[in-house]
Structure 1
Amino acid sequence: MKIQISILFSVFLLITSCKVASQSKEKSNIKFVKQTETKGTVTILEKEFVIKNLNTISHKVWVYLPPNYTTSKNKYPVIYMHDAQNLFDAKTSFAGEWEVDETLDNLYNKTKKGFIVVGIENGGEKRIEEYTPWSNTKYGGGKGDVYSDFLVNTLKPYIDKNYKTKTTAENTAIIGSSLGGLISFYAGLKHSKVFGKIGALSTSFWFSNKVNSFAEQHANLKNTKLYLLVGDKEGGSMVPDTENMAERLIDNGFNQNNIKTKVAANGKHTESFWKSEFLETITYLFNL
């Protein structure tokens, strides 16, 4: 019976994740405007990216800039995030937005700390293959390595060239949820010289057992910071998978002072949960 429940839960997670493809067809009203003293801006880049060897989808990229971006000579830390359709605008989201821009605007107004956020849209029905480094016999996937290489070799150099960024790993985070958490975890460990901070929220560690050996091989990191979040109402093996992964990393050399695991009371596998935890995630990663 437990096995059947676990299988049904896994199917539910995949279906829920894939539904991001069925976005509202209504166009976003977000446009690039001059920053004010209290609000940053979000824009969708004119340049779109077709990722070679991944698929033929032209990926849109959203960029959030802090309120003082145009008036300051400062350079800013950068947060790379997936599922951009869900981050900034309820009109393009599957089940509610994360309110990343509102959260960071409020943070800036209280602390004067600003961030650039780069959100990459998922490929809709191709989302599974984009965010999974390994294939699953039932659900396919397995092109996450191509996607993560794109982030490192193409997108980050483009962002660093065109925006006022702090380019070092200690100033660069990668954050995602569900399968987006899996690809964040993978890219962050594999490309630790690029991404020094990882936010892996409600991570789909169940997708492939290969994640365990991968983690053991890439765990010996002393400077990378990792935030693992899971809700206690997510069901299946989500909580033990997350807790076991933290133990596996530490046992294989990960700096235990740079890893935090949170099991959130009443947390469910939803956009609203990740929205409510976003500020705490970056607070830990960036020592706010």
Structure 2
Amino acid sequence: MMPFKGTIEEQTLHSQELNEKVPLLVYYPPVYTTLKKYPVLIAQDGPDYFQLGRLASTADELIQSGDIEPMIIIGIAHQRGDDRHQKYHPIGSKHSSYLRFMSNELPAYINQEFNTYLLGSGICLIGDSLGGYVSLMCGLRYPRTFGQLILQSPFVDSNVLEILHSFTGYELLKLYHSVGTEEAKFKSPSGVKDFLTPNRQLFRMLETKNFEYQYEEFQGNHLWSDWQKNLVPALKFIYGK
């Protein structure tokens, strides 16, 4: 394993939409300079992606080995538990406010604080489970802002499939999508859930569209240990040289 060369710092963004301070974890790639423009990867469940998913260290290794281009990573934190559900779930009380925060306040902050590409192809969203769902919703609503998506075992319901059916901006998107082969019977705190079947439905719909799309089924379940291993092909698809 290569020694860690990038740097991580904590920042805070005050959101008027959410009426709260949103903690951010920011990863700067090796040999970072303000004179160069960088693509930006935004992670839902930011602290979990940095700690359990090893997103920053995985990106660090791939950048140093020359497999992917350098990028800035911004991990968005939440208060966990109910706060995550209220922001990410389609019927959550903060869901609409969170989507407005994502589409307006966060991109404005990024463009102000960092030297980045302003076009949608310069920003990628990554999310797992409900974080994958909210990332997909942002991409479908604002494809000119979020032109790239990494969806790891996303929550998929009939509403998602209906929106996709009428969506017309596929040429604006580049999408990596994965799910575990053992996710048909994932034992969650609220009971057994099937993520595999709806994700295969999503795949069958997306594979018929003419855009950059990669789908993978990895051997594993709805777990960080499996999503972590799946990050390498995901990052290579989006940022590969």
Q: Distance in 2 between matches of 1:287 and 1:105?
A: 13
- Partner in structure 2 of residue 281 of structure 1: 234
Closer, same or farther: CA 170–49 of 1 in aligned 2, 3 Å: same
Closer, same or farther: CA 150–279 of 1 in aligned 2, 3 Å: same
Closer, same or farther: CA 38–212 of 1 in aligned 2, 3 Å: closer
Provide, for residues 118-142 of structure 1, a one-character-per-residue CA deviation record: whole Å limited to 9, x for no partner.
111023221112112x22xxxxx25
- Partner in structure 2 of residue 31 of structure 1: none
- Partner in structure 1 of residue 204 of structure 2: 247
Matched, 1:264 2:218: yes
Q: Distance in 1 between matches of 2:216 and 2:9?
A: 32
CA contact (8 A) 2:4 2:57 kept: no
Matched, 1:60 2:16: no
Misfit runs of 4+, over 3 Å: none
- Partner in structure 1 of residue 125 of structure 2: 174
Closer, same or farther: CA 270–233 of 1 in aligned 2, 3 Å: same
Query: Which secondary structure does the structure 1 equivalent of 2:172 belong to?
Result: coil
- Partner in structure 2 of residue 235 of structure 1: 184
Q: Distance in 1 between matches of 2:127 and 2:173?
A: 16
Tell me how far 1:38 sits from its aligned partner.
Answer: 5.9
Aligned ranges 1:17-96 → 2 under 5 Å: 39-45=5-11, 47-52=12-17, 54=18, 56-70=19-33, 73-89=35-51
Q: 1:121 aligns with which of 61, 77, 98?
A: 77
Matched, 1:109 2:40: no
Q: Distance in 2 between matches of 1:259 and 1:287?
A: 14
Tell me how far 1:240 sits from its aligned partner.
Answer: 2.1
Q: Distance in 2 between matches of 1:235 and 1:264?
A: 13
CA contact (8 A) 1:174 1:195 kept: yes
Aligned residues: 229
Tell me how far 1:247 sits from its aligned partner.
Answer: 2.2
Q: Which moved more, 1:164-173 or 1:195-204?
A: 164-173
Structure 2 segments unaligned to the other structure (5+ residues): 186-193
CA RMSD, 1 decimal? 2.0
- Partner in structure 2 of residue 23 of structure 1: none
TM-score, length-scaled by structure 1: 0.73
Tell me how far 1:49 sits from its aligned partner.
Answer: 2.6
Tell me how far 1:86 sits from its aligned partner.
Answer: 0.8
Amino acid at match of 1:214: I
Q: Distance in 2 between matches of 1:65 and 1:250?
A: 34
Flag the structure with more relative contact order, 1 or 2, with Cα contacts below 8 A and sequence separation at least 6. 2
Q: Distance in 2 between matches of 1:214 and 1:73?
A: 40
Closer, same or farther: CA 276–220 of 1 in aligned 2, 3 Å: same
CA contact (8 A) 2:132 2:153 kept: yes
Structure 1 segments unaligned to the other structure (5+ residues): 1-36, 90-96, 136-140
Q: 2:162 aligns with which of 188, 198, 213?
A: 213
Amino acid at match of 2:147: G
Provide, for residues 152-184 of structure 1, a one-character-per-residue CA deviation record: whole Å limited to 9, x for no partner.
211111111111212211121001001001001
